[in-house]
Each structure stands twice: as C-alpha cells, then as structure tokens.
Amino acid sequence: MTSGQAPRHHWPLRQVFPATALVLLLVCLASLMLGAGDLSPQAALQALFGQSSDEANFIVRELRLPRTLIGFLVGAMLGCAGALMQTLARNPLAEPGLLGVSAGSSFAVTLALMLGASAATLTVHVAQLGALAGCLLVLSAARIQGVGNDPVRLVLAGATLTGLLLSLIWLLLMFDQRSADEIRFWITGSVAGRSLDMALQLMPSLGLAFILTLIIIRPLASLALGERAAQGLGHHPGRIRFIAVVIVALLVGSATAVAGPIIFVGLVVPFIARALAGPDIRRTLWLCLTLGPIIVISADTLSRLLVAPAELPLGVLTALIGAPVLLMVVRSRRLPTL
C-alpha cells in the first residue's frame, strides 16, 4: 500500500473473488432464512421455491427477497462509490458518507419534498443531482493546496459539511410537518419496506455507471501513479476525474434515494478489498461488488435479529461496524496514502 512497508501478500483475484461470492451467497441465504417472522429456516427455504404455506411464501418472497435484493444493490453501489472516491481523492478516508456526498443528496431530496414533489417519483434523480453537487464541492476542496495532502483535514471538512447540511435539513423540516414525518425514518438509513419497483427505477443509472466505469477504469488506475504518468500514457486526468465524479454521484445518489444515507459502508468495503487484493482499483472494484453486499446484507440481517421483534436502523449498525474501521485506519502508524 505504501512504499515504506514490506511487500504484503495479496491473493490473486481469481481465488478471492469466488470465495467472497460464496460468502455472499451464504449471507443472502441467511438473510432470506432468518428474521423476526415465526418461520423456521427450512420452511423459508421451501417457500423460496414456492413450496410452502401462503403466509411463508408471502414473508419470504414479498418481504425478505426484495429487502435482500435492495441490500445487494445498495451495498454494491456504496462499496464501488467508496473505492472510486478514494482513488480519486487519493485518500483512504474519502468516503461518500463521511465527506458529505450522502448529506448532499439527502438535502436535495428534502428540498424536493418541501417543494411539493411526491416521494415516489422524483427522488432518484434529485438525489443524484444533490450527490453530484456534494461530490464536486468536496473534491474541489480536496484540490486546494494543503488540504489534499492532509487526508484527515479533508475528512473533517466533510464532517463539517455534513453537519451544516443536516442542520439545514432540520431547518427546512421545521416548516413542514408532513415531510418531517416522511423523512424521519428515511434519514437513519434502512433497506426495509422498499419495493422492487424502486430497484427497477435505478437500473438505467446503474447501467450507465457500469458502462462509464468500464471506460475509465484503466485510465483511473494509471492516475493512481500520478498526474504526469497518466498524461504520459495518453489520458486526460481532468476528463477522467470528472467522469469518475459523475459515476460516484450516480451510485451514491441512487443508493441514498433507495435506502437513505448509510455511512461508513464506502469506507469499510474498499478497506477490506484493498487488504485482500492490493491497491489496484481494477481488482478492488470487483471485490467491492461482492464485499459491499456482504456487509450491507449481513448488517441488515443482524439489525433484524439483535433486538427482535423490533429492528435497529441499518444506518446505526453500519456506523457501529464502520467507526472502528475508521479508528483502525487512523491508528495505523502512519496514514497510508493512495
């Protein structure tokens, strides 16, 4: 990761990726089989193939399956967005939630709700626009001399921006009790009770993000070597950066629109991915696709089990998982730069 360290052993992707995919499969099954409902795991498994009572079928296919699928999408999106953003800012602490990108899209959604939009239609694109604004703001701040070299200062600036936007959100909500009630639970972050229609709405943006990622992934990896090296290889750093920002905004905006602001996933997932597969973004992104859903779905399953029959908000659980990782990154003898 850093030049000063002894070379670390990384596993080749073709061994790690299937392994994580297997774990993901197990986690998905666990998410489908476990829950507050009065349903044994065997019955849940049968219900998955439509061979059980109507009630079991309903619980598994209408409640748990969408939840797991949305958790899968949200995890993959946030994980990849985190990896991209960390490469962009060359900062292992650059996480969309910490840096105020999620708060930007929350703010945009609140504003849209206040101006009379209905929660069902507008939110995805509004949230993406808000995320884009937040992203541009933070990354332009990162390019200020002195701030960009200091990973922690950028994080602090992001935390301040998040605090400011949250205050503005509460301020807006004070005018409008209706929106306040709609938003109160959305803002803690959750994948429960979301319909699959919502996931379908995301597909165009996800497809676009996927294609754009395929286009810029090689230039982005060369950008990690430095601006000069990337230029020497015939790439345009400014253009690459802008496209990457758009991808991050698409991903974070979509995830926020569906699940509310969930922080720390974008920090934890790339952190583990780098530890497994090394710093190359071309490899870590693949791992983020499996590790992100693993984290989100298992956090969601835990949130159902820990205080059953009540539920912990997902955002709370990811904060509980993520903050120790943040501390770990900070505690490491010297902050690694990307």
Partner 1 sequence: MDAARPLDQSQPLHRPPAGFWLWRSSGTSNGTSDGTRPGYSLLIPKRAVIINSLLILLLLIVVTLSLGSGSVSLSPAEVWQALWHQGPAINQLVVNELRLQRVLAGLTTGAAFALSGCLMQTLSRNRLATPGIIGIDNSATAFAVASVTGTGLSLAPSSMALAGAATACALAFGLTGASGRGGYRFIVAGIGIGAIAGAMTQFMLSRVAIDDANAAFPWTVGSLNARSPEATAALAACLPLALALSLRMTRALQLMQVSDAVSIGLGINLKQVRRNGLILSVLLTGLAVAVAGPVGLVALLGPEVARGLYRHKGVPLVASALCGALIMLAADLTGRLILAPLEIPVGIVTAVVGSPYLLWMLLNPSFKNTP
Residues at the site binding partner 1, with contacts judged by CB under 8 A? 93, 98, 141, 144-147, 150, 152-153, 155-157, 159-161, 163-164, 166-168, 170-171, 174-175, 184-185, 188, 263-264, 310, 312-313, 315-316, 319-320, 322-324, 326-327, 330-331, 335
Distance CA 169, CA 175 (A): 10
Given a contact cutoff of 8 angstroms between Cβ atoms, the answer to whether 258 and 199 are in contact is yes
- Kindly tell me which of 263 and 296 has the beta carbon lying closer to partner 1: 263
Complex with partner 1: residue 82 or 219, whichever CB lies closer: 82
Q: Cβ 138 to partner 1, closest distance in Å? A: 10
Of the pair 152, 208, the CB lying nearest partner 1 is at: 152
Q: How far is the CB of 241 from partner 1 (least distance, A)?
A: 19
- Give least dist CB 311 to partner 1, A: 9
Which two structure tokens, joined as six digits, stand for 35? 């829950």
Nearer to partner 1, 157 or 281 (CB): 157
Closest approach, Cβ 135 to partner 1, in A, equals 16
Q: Kindly tell me which of 203 and 306 has the beta carbon lying closer to partner 1.
A: 306
Longest dimension (CA), the chain: 64
Q: Give CA–CA dist 290/73, Å, rounded.
A: 10
Q: How far is the CB of 187 from partner 1 (least distance, A)?
A: 8
Taking the complex as a whole, how short is the minimal distance between the CB of residue 193 and partner 1, in angstroms? Answer: 14
Using CA atoms, how far apart are residues 304 and 306, in angstroms rounded to an integer? 6
Nearest approach, Cβ of 161 to partner 1 (angstroms)? 7
- Return all residues near 308 (Cβ < 8 A) that are at least 6 apart: 35, 36
CA distances from 296 to 206, 209, 259 (A): 18, 20, 11
To partner 1, the closest distance from the beta carbon of 85 in angstroms equals 17
Residues in Cβ contact with 5 at an 8 Å cutoff, skipping those fewer than 6 apart: none
Least Cβ distance, residue 141 to partner 1 (angstroms): 5
Q: Which residue has the tokens 């600036």?
A: 157
